[in-house]
Amino acid sequence: MILGIETSCDETAAAVVAEGYKIRSNVVASQVEIHAPYGGVFPEIASREHVLKIVPVVKDALEQAGVTLRDLTAIAVTHGPGLAGALLVGVNTAKALAFANDLPFIGINHLEGHIYASWLEGTGSVLTDSAFPLIALLVSGGHSELVLMRDHGDYQRLGGTLDDAAGEAFDKVARLLGLGYPGGPAIQKAAEGGSANAFKLPRAWLRGTYDFSFSGLKTAVLHLVQSFEGKRLPVADIAASFQAAVADVLVEKTVRAAAELGAAQIVLAGGVSANTRLRKTMLARAEVPVVIPPVQLCMDNAAMIAAAAWRRIERGERSGWDLDVAPSLKLASR
Ligand code: KG4
Ligand code: ZN
């Protein structure tokens, strides 16, 4: 039974997970409304909110799971990547709890957590160990990477974004369209009433690589918006066309990687994998089984951190008191 703690961005989260996949509790205190007026996450405010929320959130997670700290096997905490001040709150809380209760603790990579959301119960078809090799499409606010996993804990980066992360592109285009923050859900909602074929937007294929680029698409949307100056902006059609362009490139690259590398499964991970268009397109075009966590588990949470920690703890891995926050922590070991 592992207590997971996550404070890398604007969610204060704690969860208790048994055997790496049974969710006993999963508490998330979102700060999204606090940051919305700034149009993005305000780092200093995020840290201070974590300081206010972390103890009540941990307490709730333990109570909802019906356990006490004495029932735990270990404590797992996100130590990167993310905002330094935000990460510090989680890491220090985990260290204090581990020290006071004589428990092992382990620092977990937030991106590894997103991938392990696919092993949590509630994910229709829970991944088994025969899922390897698998291709993970990791798309969040700060990251867009295509990763080959040959085994647990073994990550090879195949490619990634050359400019904006997919979530960042959603957030910036939402701003251009006058939609709120966070942009992903706002664009998805606006796109419901629009046509994905209304506007022909560019897709950066970057052939021969597994890399992505969204800056050209973003600029194309900017020019499109400018061309409507003084006229009514067709927000729904632009949102739908933009969303389709992002999904097309992400899916095409993932499906090709899966075929070329003989993957047994595809895993969708990160906040952007909550996107309905991306989920549907991936399910329609993939030639191997696709595992996509339910929307709640795609967003930042601590159950995924506990899930990622499970096999590491079983293997005897531990962090020491010298564990530091790592704001630019990478996922791939090679
Ligand atoms: O993984 P996440 O919750 O936080 C990070 O680790 O960055 O991802 C947040 C990102 C934001 O950019 C948000 O706009 C995007 O995920 N997002 C979406 C959707 N829901 C969240 N993007 C597209 N469609 C969605 N439905
Ligand atoms: Zn995330």
Ligand 1 geometric centre to CA of 235 (Å): 20
* Across 242-252, average pLDDT: 98
Decide: 9 in ligand 1 pocket, CB within 6 A.
Answer: yes
Q: Smallest Cα–Cα separation from 308: which of 141, 136, 145?
A: 136
pLDDT of residue 181: 87
**Residue 295 scores a pLDDT above 90:** yes
Q: Which of 7, 78, 114, 170 to mutate to test the pocket of ligand 1 (most atoms within 8 A of CB)?
A: 170
266, 286 contact by CB (below 8 A):
yes
Query: Which of the ligands is closest to the CA of residue 143?
Result: 1
Cβ of residue 274 lying under 6 Å from some atom of ligand 1: yes
User: What is the tens place of the pLDDT at every residue in 22-60?
Assistant: 999 999 999 999 998 888 899 999 999 999 999 999 999
Q: What is the pLDDT of residue 97?
A: 98
Residues in CB range of 160: below 8 A, 6 or more apart: 143, 144, 145, 146, 210, 211, 212
Share of the chain above pLDDT 70, in %: 98
Domains and their CATH numbers in the chain = 2-118+297-314 (3.30.420.40), 128-292 (3.30.420.40)
- Residue 264 clears pLDDT 70, i.e. is over it: yes
- Mean per-residue pLDDT, 72-79: 98
Kindly identify the ligand whose nearest atom is closest to the C-alpha of 247: 1
288-297 mean pLDDT: 94
Q: Is the CB of 141 under 6 A from ligand 1?
A: yes
Is any atom of ligand 1 closer than 6 Å to the C-beta of 214? Answer: no
Ligand 1 atom, smallest distance to 142 CA: 7
pLDDT, average across residues 274-289? 97
> What pLDDT digit, counting tens, does each position of 152-181 carry?
999 999 999 999 999 999 999 999 999 988
Q: How confident is the model at residue 151 (pLDDT cuts 50, 70, 90)?
A: very high
pLDDT digits (tens, 9 = 90+) for 86-142: 999 999 999 999 999 999 999 999 999 999 999 999 875 556 667 899 999 999 998
State the pLDDT at residue 228. 97
Place of tokens 């270990």: 74
The residue-averaged pLDDT of 262-291 equals 96
CA of 199 to the centre of ligand 2 (A): 30
For ligand 1, the distance from its centroid to the CA atom of residue 98, given in whole angstroms, is 31
- In this predicted structure, the answer to whether residue 334 has a pLDDT above a threshold of 70 is no
How high is the pLDDT of residue 333?
A: 62
CA 276 to ligand 1: nearest atom? 26
